[in-house]
Structure 1
Amino acid sequence: MGEVVNVVVAFAVIVFIFRWLTTNNESPSERSAADTLGFRPKTVSQDMIDTISNMFPDIPPDNIRYDLLRTGSVELSSNKILERGFLDPPPPAYFTLYPRDTNAEQAGTRPAPAVAASSTAVKSKQTLIDRYNLQERVVASGPIISEADIGGKAVWEASSEKREASLKERKAQMILAARQRMLAQQQKTAP
C-alpha cells in the first residue's frame, strides 16, 4: 500500500514538473490571443470594420476592431455606438496582436477601402456644372443672377413633379450664382 502511494505521488510530481517546464518555455509572442486579450476573440473581417467605419467615420478603427473581436457582430457594435456615442479603446495588450499602421498615423488619416478611394477620385473630377448638366446655361452666360433671385422661398407646388422641377431650378440658380461669385473673386485677385 505504501508503494502505491509513493508511485502516485511521484507520478503527480512528474506531471507537475512537465507542465511547469512546458508553460514557462513559451515566449510572450507565442501566447494565444485569448490569453493576451482576456477573452476568446471572434472572427472579424475587413468588411465588418469598413461597414462600421463608413457609418461612424469618427470612431477609430482600432476601437472598432477591438469591439468586433469581443462581440463578433456589426449590429451589436453599431447599437453600442448609437447608445453610448463611442466605443471603448483597446487595452495595450491589443496592440501586441494588432500593431498600429504607422504610415496612416503619420499621414493623419486612416486607410480607406480601395473602392471608396476610387469613387471619391471620380467624384472630385466632376464639377457641379457637369453633375447638374448646366453647360448650356454657363455657355449662354446671359444676365447676371441677382442675389435676391438665388435660392429664396419656394412656392409649394400642387404636384410632386412641379416641386421637383422647382427644386432643380433653385439648385441650378445657386450653382450658377456661386460660379459667378467665384469668377468675380478671381478677377479681383488677378492683375
Structure 2
Amino acid sequence: MAEIINVIVAFVVIIFIFRWATSGSNTDRTAADTLGFRPKNVSQEMLDTISNMFPDIPLDNIRYDLLRTGSVELTTNRILERGYLDAPPPSYYQLYSREPTRPRSPANTNNAPVLLKAKENLIERFDLQHLVDANTEPIPDSEIGGRSVWEDTPEKREASLKERKAKMILAARQRMLAAQKNET
C-alpha cells in the first residue's frame, strides 16, 4: 500500500515537473491569453508599408490587425473593403504601449516628425514670391482653378497643374489682403 502511494506521489511530481519544463515562454501564453488570439510577428517594415499607404489609420489599429492576421495583404484588403480598422481593445495596451501621434507623410518613410518652419506660408512653400512681386492686378475668377486641357505629356500636365495651383494660391492671397483691407 505504501508503494502505491509513493508511485502516485512520484507520478504527480513528474507531471508538475513536466508542465513546468514545457511551459517555455510565459510571455507568448500571456499575450495569447490577454489578446484572445496568438499574436503573429509584426515587423516595423510591415507597419511602415501600411501606414504609408493609409496615413489616416492610427498605428495602433494597424499593429493590432497585423498581430491578428500577420499579413500586410490581408490588413490592406480589410482597410480597402471597410475603410477602417477596428480599434484595439484595452487589453492590447497592457502589452503594447500607446503609439504617440505624429505627422506622417509618404515622403517621410522613417516616420520621424516632419519639422516645418514656424512661419512658413504657401507663398514660401511653393516658391511663388517672384509671382507676388510681379503680379499686382487681381486674377479674374474665370482663370482661377478652371478647367484645364488634357496635355499630351506628363511634364506638360504637371506644369499645367503647377500653374493652376499658383493661380489659386495667389487669388486666395489677394482675397485675404482685400478682406484685411476691408476690416481696417
TM-score, L = length of structure 2: 0.67
Unaligned stretches of 5+ residues in structure 1? 23-27, 105-109
After TM superposition, give the deviation of residue 82 of structure 1 in Å.
1.4
After TM superposition, give the deviation of residue 131 of structure 1 in Å.
4.7
Of 81, 85, 95, the residue aligned with 1:97 is 95
After TM superposition, give the deviation of residue 162 of structure 1 in Å.
5.8
After TM superposition, give the deviation of residue 166 of structure 1 in Å.
4.5
Of 42, 54, 63, the residue aligned with 1:65 is 63
Alpha-carbon distance in structure 2 between the residues aligned to 1:98 and 1:168: 44
- Counterpart of 2:37 in structure 1: which amino acid? F
After TM superposition, give the deviation of residue 121 of structure 1 in Å.
1.6
Range that drifts further, 43-52 or 112-121:
112-121
Match of 1:107 in 2: none
Alpha-carbon distance in structure 2 between the residues aligned to 1:162 and 1:130: 23
Give the match's secondary structure for 1:184.
helix
Bigger-Rg structure (1/2): 1
Alpha-carbon distance in structure 1 between the residues aligned to 2:80 and 2:32: 28
Classify 1:148/1:64 alpha carbon distance in 2 versus 1 (closer, same or farther; 3 Å): closer
Does 1:149 find its partner at 2:138?
Answer: no
1:120-168, Cα deviation, whole Å (9 max, x unpaired)? 526x7654334544333211234322223323344566x4466555444
Alpha-carbon distance in structure 1 between the residues aligned to 2:97 and 2:33: 17
Give the match's secondary structure for 2:143.
coil
Unaligned stretches of 5+ residues in structure 2? 21-25
Classify 1:90/1:120 alpha carbon distance in 2 versus 1 (closer, same or farther; 3 Å): same
Match of 2:23 in 1: none
Match of 2:167 in 1: 173
- Counterpart of 1:13 in structure 2: which amino acid? V
Give the match's secondary structure for 1:151.
coil
Classify 1:96/1:78 alpha carbon distance in 2 versus 1 (closer, same or farther; 3 Å): same
1:162-186, Cα deviation, whole Å (9 max, x unpaired)? 6555444433322222211111112
Relative to its length, the structure with more helix (as a share) is: 1
Alpha-carbon distance in structure 2 between the residues aligned to 1:7 and 1:36: 39
Match of 2:131 in 1: 137
Match of 1:187 in 2: 181
* Identity score, percent: 56
Alpha-carbon distance in structure 2 between the residues aligned to 1:100 and 1:118: 17
- Counterpart of 1:33 in structure 2: which amino acid? A
- Counterpart of 2:11 in structure 1: which amino acid? A
| Contact 2:62 2:85 survives alignment (8 Å) | yes
- Counterpart of 1:186 in structure 2: which amino acid? Q
- Counterpart of 1:76 in structure 2: which amino acid? L
Does 1:10 find its partner at 2:13?
Answer: no
Does 1:121 find its partner at 2:116?
Answer: yes
- Counterpart of 1:138 in structure 2: which amino acid? V
Classify 1:96/1:153 alpha carbon distance in 2 versus 1 (closer, same or farther; 3 Å): closer
Q: CA RMSD in A?
A: 3.8
